[in-house]
Structure 1
Amino acid sequence: MASSRLRQELLCPVCLDIYNNPVLLRCGHNFCSSCIESVFDSQEDCWLYTCPECRKRFTLRPSPRRNLKLSNIVGHYREHQTEEEEVHCTYCVDFPVPAIKTCLQCEASLCVKHMKRHCRSQDHILIEPNAPQDDLKCPTHKHLLKYYCLDDAARICLSCHLVGEHQRHHVELLNDACEKKKQRWTHSLEKMISNRKEAEEKIQRMQERRKEVQEKLASATEKVTPLFRNLKKQRRAQGKQVLDEIKREEERVSLQISDFIKELEMKKETLSKTIVQLEELCSLTDPLLVLKATEPDAAQSDHAIEIPSSCQLDHVLISLLLQRSLKLDFAFIPKLLEKESLLHENLGSLLLEVRTNDNTIPLLPGHKIVSFSAENWMRNSESELFTAGQVLSSTGISSGEHFWEVEVSQEGFRCIGVAYPSIIRSGPQSFIGYNEKSWSFTWINDFVGVSHNNECRPLSKVCLKEKLGIYLDYEGGVLSFYQLSDPIRRLHSFTAPFIEPLHLSFNVLNGWVRVNKKAIWGKTLLFN
């Protein structure tokens, strides 16, 4: 096809053949030297000369200049044509005209003129005119390869399908198989374009988020500074710790966002390359080339990149540090909190759902402490009871942000988390964190880990001598666990689109767990 297009560019407008000693007029058009001289000779009597291509007029007979570059191109083309024999139109008998297509059904090559009159039936398969003859006929039956075997991804003839090795295989006409393959490419192309647009939008959102984080932390710094300005030296040192943490958090989030933007830029570049390749494939018209072509591997390009939780501002961590520092000066805080309407912490009692208790967990008075001893082992056949030592809170959470402080015994098996009420109640997958409907934080003596959907991730360097913090943002789809002993830090975060109410869940063996709900007033003070 490329050779045919090149030939069209190398045809003299007068003789319609390849340029012979091409020359250039002032108007920019090229002709064979002998052809343009003949034209000017015929115009001698008129005393007016015109270009045969654009009809530009010349009062004096032009003196064409030899076009050396075009002459070299023609020379290289002629050398190439001697190696690769040119195919001419079968129906142009008066003079040879290059063919642009060959019809397998008619076994004829066609020029531009005869292509317009040619039958457009599906049986008339058009291919490149210079396709190797060995590639057109079946080597076994010597018939035209007009069909495509879907089972073996091979071109076959009719005899191959009726009596040959492709009997009972799924077979289509070449044109039909070609169109279906191009439709798949078109679908992949549309998907890649959509993915690239999504990557571009994510890059823009992350750039906006980085700016937003910087503005929020700058505002938080301005609010923290006056809180500690008039306090004693020791308190001012604690205020500096809060300011240092704000700075570290800004550096951490900015770095994570920058790394994620680089990852998105790389994906965008990969998608752009894949899109160019697919566009080239979709532009193919020769069925033979289409069926031979291999679609670019789009698996990596098609992989969605989710925004990691590490790109989120950890306002809870900063708030916890601020609250710990300010609570040390109790005489100063009440007036501040009353002014901001933040004094009342939500200490609503945690009630555990007795119906879900399998009676292997005694619920201590007040239903706030879960304890278990191996001596207390009873069974209950009620459908809502767990067969494992687990219990759920009586009230589910379906909105808002919540924070709990958790105290645990130093020994035994202790597991706390959240679960949907539809969690299964028996079998190994009923354990918290070992199914897709629950998320957990687990202690087994010295082992500490987090679990979800039967995947457990161990955590290192965890110090839980005091309390564990659990933060839930239902609408934001975030569940985080915090180490509340010094140093306060986030241990792990789960992100998920929560679709059912969440209940606090416990699983205790030879130990105890105590839970209290707390208000994160530091967040309201700094970030609202």
Structure 2
Amino acid sequence: MASADLSEKLICCVCLSTCEDPILLRCGHNFCRECVEDVLHTPEGSGSHTCPQCRDEISEGPALLKVRPLDEDYGTFCTDCTCSPLPAVISCLYCEASLCDNHLRVHSKSEEHVFTKLNLTCSTHKKTLTYYCTEDAACLCVTCSLSEEHRGHHVEPLAEASPKKEESLRNLRETLSKTQKASEERVESLKQYLRGAQEKAAAVTERVVALFKDTRRQLDILETKILKDITDQEEKATASVCDLIHELEIKIAQLSRDMKDVEDLCAVPEPLPVLQRWVRHSIEDIEVVHDEDRSDLDVGLISVTLHTALSDIITKVKRDFYVQQTPDIVLNLNTASNDLHITNDLKSASGSDFKQNRPKLPERFEYNQVLSTRSFPSGRHFLELETCLSGNWRLGMSYPSVARKGYHSLIGHSNKSWGLCRYLNQYFVIHDRRVVPVPHKPSSQRLGIFLDYEAGHIGFYELCDPITHLYTYTSRFQEALYLILSVYTGWVRIRN
């Protein structure tokens, strides 16, 4: 320990025990004051003196020899040591005492005795720091505590301030520990989310790659088949035409010979031979070759084959990604507010300046809202809608149990509906009265809602080029979902 190291340095070279009233010669060796003065005053020699240990000459006489206390070099000594003081290793703020290792072991350990490290000395007044100013958060000596700088401040002894500070630090440490634990849990949660997102992206990527690979394979097969059909039809048409050409060429040669015979008969002067030979070459003997037997390319058959095969491929693509074909969706007139105009085909809703005078029904909305007739209790579905270029409206999905009157009936004003809102040419999403601005300016009249019931996702998209993802809600659905529209100015139309 520090006191043991210093004790070894404080061994007197004359009496070989711990220095009493220790001093330090200029050569750096330690002695008891009494021992070194006895040595330096011995009448040996001519008045010069030497260090008893290293024999370095000390030119000045004993009266002029400068010595300095060891505490200038070795700090504070134990206040409880009576004969040979040892260096202090700690201070008791309650007793205002400095203690060595030996006296620390026997000192009182009760709560009021607060121990602290040494060097608590005021840099200005060179006095022990014994007070604490709570306003300036500074340790003070007695003189500092009475100075003008700290007059009127709350000053208390270090022995009282230290436990309070320790309690405050313990509370701070507990708060920091809780914050650290919460942050670590949050980091772990985010890492799990990141791993899940990466795994999900990898799985979807694998499915998409496999889907396109299979689609390309089917398209290659279809291309090969269609091209083979075209080639077969071409060969068939070519063969029939070539046969027809060959037959006609033979006929043309025969006709040339017949024409030569006719010319020869015309040159014969006797009538009898002409009449006899002409009978054998009457006009009825000439066969006319018609081209109705030729084959043509059946483009219609190719088109039907191609269309059917492509439709089958598209159906398989949809089936592989479990997006169900959404049947025709219409609006439920019995839920439509009297402030909402519904077109005859039950596809469009718009704000109305005139009351529609529909009958009072328990399912009818008080405000400008309407539900669809079709429910979505499971599966994946994609709904496409169209809106006007301007206007204020909301659209989304809702439970059928959503309120029909009051503030909570509005889309997104309860936990029973999820909505996309357009207001003052800005998109917002709203659910359970929590409004989130969407950082995308409206740029298309076409919008899409993607519902994955089992996964608990409701996604909103703007169907521009490219398609823009606006927002996706994640929840655990408790009821079947319905399309819900709310229009104040402008119009919204179902495109499905």
TM superposition score normalised by structure 2? 0.51
| Counterpart-to-counterpart distance in 2, 1:183 and 1:516 | 61
- Contact map agreement 1:337 1:343 (CA 8 A) in 2: no
Choose from 68, 75, 80 the match for 1:86.
75
Change (3 A) 1:498 1:124: farther
Structure 2 counterparts to residues 107-506 of structure 1, below 5 A: 107-133=96-122, 145=131, 174-196=162-184, 198-199=186-187, 202-203=190-191, 206=194, 209-210=197-198, 213-214=201-202, 216-229=204-217, 231=219, 329-334=307-312, 337=315, 345-347=325-327, 349=329, 352=332, 354=334, 357-363=336-342, 369-376=348-355, 388-392=367-371, 401-409=380-388, 412-418=391-397, 426=406, 432=411, 439-443=418-422, 447=425, 449-452=427-430, 453-457=434-438, 459-460=440-441, 462-464=443-445, 467-473=446-452, 476=455, 478-484=457-463, 487-497=465-475, 504-506=483-485
Which letter does structure 2 place at the counterpart of 1:98? P
- Contact map agreement 1:468 1:484 (CA 8 A) in 2: yes
The higher relative CO (CA closer than 8 Å, separation ≥ 6) is in: 1
Deviates more, 1:103-112 or 1:185-194: 185-194
Partner of 2:5: 11
Cα distance, 1:505 vs structure 2: 3.0
Q: Equivalent residue of 1:92, what SS?
A: coil
Which letter does structure 2 place at the counterpart of 1:115? L
| Counterpart-to-counterpart distance in 2, 1:477 and 1:343 | 15
- Contact map agreement 1:408 1:513 (CA 8 A) in 2: yes
| Counterpart-to-counterpart distance in 2, 1:210 and 1:343 | 22
Which letter does structure 1 place at the counterpart of 2:209? T
Which letter does structure 1 place at the counterpart of 2:370? V
Change (3 A) 1:131 1:153: closer
- Contact map agreement 1:369 1:512 (CA 8 A) in 2: yes
| Counterpart-to-counterpart distance in 2, 1:173 and 1:381 | 75
| Counterpart-to-counterpart distance in 1, 2:76 and 2:114 | 17
| Counterpart-to-counterpart distance in 1, 2:312 and 2:98 | 95
Q: Equivalent residue of 1:106, what SS?
A: coil
| Counterpart-to-counterpart distance in 2, 1:366 and 1:478 | 29
| 1:507 is the counterpart of 2:486 | yes
| Counterpart-to-counterpart distance in 1, 2:360 and 2:163 | 66
Q: Equivalent residue of 1:227, what SS?
A: helix
After superposition, the C-alpha distances for 1:466-510 in whole angstroms (9 at most, x for unaligned) are: x4210234565543222335x351331234546775654321135
Q: Equivalent residue of 1:122, what SS?
A: coil
Change (3 A) 1:215 1:364: closer
- Contact map agreement 1:449 1:459 (CA 8 A) in 2: yes
Change (3 A) 1:416 1:208: closer
Change (3 A) 1:431 1:133: same
Partner of 1:65: none
Partner of 1:49: none
| Counterpart-to-counterpart distance in 2, 1:451 and 1:513 | 17
- The number of residues matched between the two structures is 346
| Counterpart-to-counterpart distance in 2, 1:422 and 1:135 | 75
Cα distance, 1:360 vs structure 2: 0.6
Change (3 A) 1:202 1:134: same
| Counterpart-to-counterpart distance in 1, 2:377 and 2:452 | 10
| Counterpart-to-counterpart distance in 2, 1:112 and 1:353 | 93
Partner of 1:259: none
Partner of 1:252: none
Which letter does structure 1 place at the counterpart of 2:172? R
Change (3 A) 1:402 1:153: farther
Which letter does structure 1 place at the counterpart of 2:201? V
- Contact map agreement 1:405 1:516 (CA 8 A) in 2: yes
Partner of 1:102: 91
Q: Equivalent residue of 1:95, what SS?
A: coil
Aligned-residue identity in percent: 24
Cα distance, 1:144 vs structure 2: 5.0
Change (3 A) 1:212 1:393: closer
Change (3 A) 1:337 1:11: same
Which letter does structure 1 place at the counterpart of 2:110? S
Change (3 A) 1:434 1:208: closer
- Contact map agreement 2:325 2:381 (CA 8 A) in 1: no
Runs of 4+ in 1 over 6 A off after TM superposition: 134-137, 151-157, 232-236, 341-344, 377-385, 394-399, 434-437
Change (3 A) 1:202 1:96: farther
Change (3 A) 1:394 1:441: same
- Contact map agreement 1:383 1:425 (CA 8 A) in 2: no
Q: Equivalent residue of 1:11, what SS?
A: helix
Cα distance, 1:219 vs structure 2: 4.2
CA RMSD of aligned residues (A): 5.6
Name structure 1 gaps, 5 residues minimum. 21-33, 36-79, 237-327, 518-528
| Counterpart-to-counterpart distance in 2, 1:436 and 1:430 | 10
Which one has a bigger Cα radius of gyration?
A: 2
Which letter does structure 1 place at the counterpart of 2:214? P
Change (3 A) 1:415 1:202: closer
TM superposition score normalised by structure 1? 0.49
